[in-house]
Every structure is written in structure tokens, then in C-alpha cells.
Amino acid sequence: MNTKELILEEALKQFSQKGYDGTSMSDIAHPLGISKAALYKHFESKQQIFDEIIAQSEENYKDFFEKLTVHFPEHDEAEINAEDVEYYGKISAEGLSESVLTFVRFFMSDEYSRRVRRMFTISQFQSAELGAMYTRRYIDSMMGYDERIFKQLIKVGAIKKGDPKVLAAMFCGTVIMYMGIWDREPDRAKECEKAIREHVEQFFLMTSNGEK
Amino acid sequence: MNTKELILEEALKQFSQKGYDGTSMSDIAHPLGISKAALYKHFESKQQIFDEIIAQSEENYKDFFEKLTVHFPEHDEAEINAEDVEYYGKISAEGLSESVLTFVRFFMSDEYSRRVRRMFTISQFQSAELGAMYTRRYIDSMMGYDERIFKQLIKVGAIKKGDPKVLAAMFCGTVIMYMGIWDREPDRAKECEKAIREHVEQFFLMTSNGEK
DNA sequence: GTCTATAGACCGATAGAC
DNA sequence: GTCTATCGGTCTATAGAC
């Protein structure tokens, strides 16, 4: 791994712990065993290091969500599709809660994701742009994903009718809330996992069309 | 208003905008028209100013929630009470969403609340204690309040049976999510209000026992 | 309780040797 | 591309006059 990437990695680590203003160029250079002057051979300024971390994470985030949504049917508004009914019709409360938890567990334990999320959280008011990015990344995109799932589930008759966007907000707002607790208080991870599982099951119970 | 309180007020303003590390003693002193040296006649250090803001806000928060919960029936686990049925039985979707929105609007527009919340948000990872305080204040206490309401609503038969804690999480997780968007992107305030209203109505629809 | 002045440390960034 | 040395500035905090 080259020096530039090592710098970005260490800077992210520091920024996510102590924030932009709380991190000095020496804080970044010292753990890497280089002097702070050397940093300026790779980056013009401290701000540029920060910006590059944001830009890099933006690419990673886009790749991640492209892979995640690639399996959605293209014929979004079209008639009911047989394989959709097959796929979405047999989603169970356990299946749904397990796939949600798999996603959440990865998101919470992956060190890179954790650090980027932390850095964004404590930098979200630094500029309007960062605030909008935060919302887009950690709320809108998740909700958009869930919305598409619920749209399918409604279409195939697996859950009751309702605005898929409202349902998605109800579904993932709670999950996001528990992820926040999990981030702030890692000791409560198990409690959060349990609460998310109960939430998904309760949600499934309230929306499912099983008795139809 | 005495100088000490003016300092705390200005410091909160600055800390909530630029964070602890991004705020200097001059940043606090200058808008007040005094020199930074004068600050040290009122506080021992910058850290002490921060701590005092936290402590003061903790008292305000406790007062606020005490007033809010004082009307809850003392006979929590007891038998069904006639006036509870009277009170909780006639809660409507519109009534619930309006009282939620009244609470949210105050919380979002009150400058003091806004600043404390912002300061907490960007300082939540500075120490485990601050993280725990954040959760307690902005999640646990709201959820606890909603949980008690839902417990009553279930008892009097206004909504379907279910774990009141799970319902409270589902209810207020989404509200909290929209408050976050509202804080980061004030332009989206109206959109958030609308979404919260739709959420409360959808939630009421999903849980109500109206057709019983 | 306010001021000016300043100590002493650290900051971001640069110069120049190797 | 790394280093040491340093510039010019800001930081928290203090000293001492008024």
C-alpha cells in the first residue's frame, strides 16, 4: 500500500475520533512514522486530506448501493410478474429480520464504515453540503431501498396496501435509531440487535396480509 | 443578566456551530465585547465552560420531562380506570399527530434546544459519558414517554395488543429520524412535518382497534 | 472584574538539505 | 519523498496594572 493511501487511512481514523479541528497534521503523521512535512508532498493541505476522504467514501458508497439495488426488477411500474410473486411472496418475518440484521451487523462492525459514519456524524453541521450528504447516505438511500421492497411486497399482495414511502420510513427510522445507540454505546450492541429483531417482527405482523 | 450567564449563552452558540475544538476563547469573548482574559474571572478553563453548559442543560432537560410526565396515572399497573378510558379512549389520529407535531415544532424551533442538541450531536463521541447522555436525552426519554402512552392505550383497548416498548420504538424512531433531517437541512422542514404527520396517521391506522 | 501584555505550547504550512 | 528547522500565527492560560 502506498503512502498516500496510508495517510488517508490514518487521517480517517483520527478525524473520526477527534474531529477535523481536534486532529493536527502531527496526529496523522506520527502514527505512520513520518514527519508532518512529508504529508505536504502528498496533499496540499489538511482540508484536502479531509475532502479526499469524503470523495473516496462517496465512491465506495455509490458502488455499495449499486450492487445492492441491481437485483430490483427493471419493470418497476409494470404488471405483476410471476417471479416477483415467487420471490417476494415467500418473504417471512424471520427471513426479513435476518437479512436486515446481516446488513446492520456488517455496517456496524466494518471498521471503515464505522469511521466514515462517525466522521460524518460529527461533521454534519460543518457545511450544508456535508449535511445533505449525510442525509442522502444514511437515510434517503436506505429508505429508498426499503421503499422499493415494500412496493414489490404490496404489488404481490404480501403486505397490506399503504404508501410504500411511509412504510419504509417507519421501518428503517427505527433501525437507524438503534444503529445510533449501537454507535454511541457499543456495550448495548446485543440489546440493539434484539430490539431490531423485535421491531422487524412487529412490523411484519402489523403489515402482513397473512390472514387474507 | 449577569456576565457569567452571558458567557455560557455565547459559548453554547459557538460550540454548537463550530464544536469544542473549533471554538477559541476569543470566539466567545469577542461577541460579548470583553477580552478573553476576562473569561478566566468567571471560569477556570474552556473545558469548565463546556461542562457547565452540559450541567445546566441537564437540569433544564430534567425539569422539562418532569413536567411532561407529571400527568401520567400513578396507578401504573393497576386495574382499568374510568377516567383513563375517558382520556385515552378518545385519542384520534389527528389529535395524536397534532400533539406530536406541537412537541416537535417546539423542539426544532426553540433556539436553546436547537443549540444544545447540535452541540450534543457533534460531541457525542468525545466521551462515553456524553454518548450515554445523548441516548438518554434524545431517545430513551422520548421512547419512555411514548411507551407509557401506548401502555395506557392498550389497557383501555384503543389500540391492538403488542409490546408497548416495541411500538414506542417504531413510533418515535421515525419521528427522531425526521428531526435529524430537519436539523441538518432546515429547508426540508415542511417536508419533514408532512412526513411525520403521515407517519403518525399510518401508525394509528396500523395499530388502532377501531374495527373491533 | 476589566484591561493589556505575554508566556509557552502548538498549529498549518514552507524552505532547503539530502 | 523524506528529513530538520523554522516562519508566522493562534491557542489556552496567566501576570499584573487599574
The pLDDT profile of chain A, 212 residues, written as one tens digit per residue, is 799 999 999 999 999 999 999 999 999 999 999 999 999 999 999 999 999 999 999 999 999 989 888 777 766 566 677 877 888 877 887 888 999 999 999 999 999 999 999 999 999 999 999 999 999 999 999 999 999 999 999 988 888 889 999 999 999 999 999 999 999 999 999 999 999 999 999 999 999 876 54
In sequence order, what are the residues at sequence separation of 6 or more whose Cβ sits closer than 8 angstroms to the Cβ of residue B11? B23, B28, B49, B50, B53
| C-beta separation of B113 from B106 below 8 A | yes
Whole-angstrom Cα distance, residue B20 to residue B53? Answer: 12
Cross-chain Cβ contact B124/A121 below 8 Å: yes
What is the pLDDT at residue B212? 40
DSSP state of B77: T
Question: B71 - beta bridge partners?
Answer: none
Give the one of A132, A169, A198 whose C-beta lies nearest to B163's C-beta: A198
B169 lies within 8 A of chain A by CB: yes
- Substitution target from A116, A147, A170 for chain B, most B beta carbons within 10 A: A170
Confirm whether any atom of chain C, the nucleic acid strand, is less than 7 Å from CB of B30. no
Question: Which of chain D's bases lie under 7 Å from a protein CB?
Answer: 1-5, 10-16
In terms of C-beta distances under 8 Å and separation of at least 24 residues, what long-range contacts does A175-178 make, across chains too?
A175/A100, A175/A104, A175/A142, A175/A199, A175/B173, A176/A138, A176/A139, A176/A142, A176/B173, A176/B177, A177/B139, A177/B169, A177/B172, A177/B173, A177/B176, A177/B177, A178/B169, A178/B173
| C-beta separation of B86 from B178 below 8 A | no
Neighbour-count burial for A76-103, b at 16+ CB within 10 Å, e otherwise: eeeeeeeebeeebeebebeebbeebeee
Per CB-CB distance under 8 Å, the chain B contacts of A16 are 125
> pTM of the full predicted structure?
0.95
Confirm whether any atom of chain C, the nucleic acid strand, is less than 7 Å from CB of A23. yes
Cross-chain Cβ contact B122/A122 below 8 Å: yes
Question: Which of chain C's bases lie under 7 Å from a protein CB?
Answer: 1-5, 10-16
Question: A159 - beta bridge partners?
Answer: A208
What is the pLDDT at residue A45? 98
What is the pLDDT at residue B74? 65
The whole-number Å distance from B19's CA to D1's C1' is 35
Q: Can you read off the three cell numbers belonging to residue B122?
A: 457533534
A195 lies within 8 A of chain B by CB: yes
| Residues of chain B where predicted confidence (pLDDT) is lower than 50 | 212
Per CB-CB distance under 8 Å, the chain B contacts of A121 are 121-122, 124-125
What is the pLDDT at residue B139? 98
Give the one of A170, A175, A185 whose C-beta lies nearest to B131's C-beta: A185
Closest Cα in chain B to A181: B135
Per CB-CB distance under 8 Å, the chain B contacts of A185 are 128, 131-132, 135
Q: Which nucleotide is nearest to B25 (CA to C1')?
A: D12
Phi, psi of B57, rounded to the nearest 5 degrees: -70, -30
Number of H helices, E strands in chain A: 11, 0
Give me the helices (H) in chain B, please: 3-22, 25-29, 36-39, 46-69, 82-89, 93-109, 111-123, 128-135, 141-155, 164-184, 189-207
What is the gyration radius of the CA atoms in chain B, in angstroms? 21
What is the pLDDT at residue A76? 57
A38 lies within 8 A of chain B by CB: no
Smallest CA–C1' distance to D15, residue: B37
Whole-angstrom Cα distance, residue A102 to residue A196? Answer: 11
Give the one of B17, B121, B174 whose C-beta lies nearest to A170's C-beta: B174
